[in-house]
Structure 1
């Protein structure tokens, strides 16, 4: 994603250090039968009446709003997984954070889908012939004034990824069932510059034995995933 220059400071803190104020164990996860390629195709063809839970963050910056799009790439393995990235550590903002492939809209992009597919190819080398776009979710406005359209897609295995070293430090997959289970959704609050801000986190540690690494999914990425949960559970 193209990173802007900010005229007001962004908070610098370790989100892992902010206490958890709640976990939504009272909500049911999306049933396994609803997390299949065919079920998702059907859901997007005939969407339910629903309301996104997260849509506009409190702003950190007075920069002009900018359109952007991200891809939610659901890989069709034995069970669906979501492809995520870890941003490079030398990025000027949000370095090292977990993100969805995507970025700012170019003048040559036809629409949000075109932006998401182009950026996914530029960032991680995911080619369009492996991608089946299902649909879009409502826009999500970040505290840095990006108006993001999330594009949900199925990805056929057999792709060869090539991460852009200037943008991406790592690429990994998380089971969709884990992300669509609210018992894995943690709530946080943090005051910055006199403003109380709230967000979700979805920490995930894969089955990698002694080398298991926690992937701390939070902020805008977690907010858009929470909206996907609301859409699939409506």
Structure 2
């Protein structure tokens, strides 16, 4: 294996949605360099960051029946019983929700938490509060979808953050998704909420670090046990 091939295997590919942004950042860096070279260095760093932001690494997804995996990279910022967004049509009763917050340094490609069929997609415009806040689930711009899975119906909601200004969805109603499959992307800081049907035994706690498509959020297996956590 050549050195170039080895390096290519170590570097995560760039998602196509990020290519135009990277080109714009690079052009801006060149222009800034001609204005004043230190600005060009800053622009170069920003270009590298932009490429890093739009990375789309391969993931190894656990496929055992009953598992719910994280839809996003980041950390668990909220856990509890919450009423799902009304546009999803899940009713007013609270459901178990796990929220994963993505900083501007996390990969922002979102992946399906379970295998199932998409029965509804609902977009709602809104504010751009810090996505780490609980009220962001109610007030911020969001795009939600329902997935009918063997465990029941899941709600998955992409929420724009303080910097994010566009939520991208790659799927459509009626489409079948496999667990860990890419379904969307949010630009520049955001979060994803997962609303779970009854019977979920959580495998994460507040502050847990998550990797999209790999980290197990919950388990519906009959012998699964909820794991206690403490913050050290």
Q: Determine which structure has more spread, i.e. the larger CA radius of gyration.
A: 2
Q: Which has the higher contact order (CA 8 A, sep 6+)?
A: 1
Q: TM-score, normalised by structure 1?
A: 0.27
Q: TM-score, normalised by structure 2?
A: 0.28
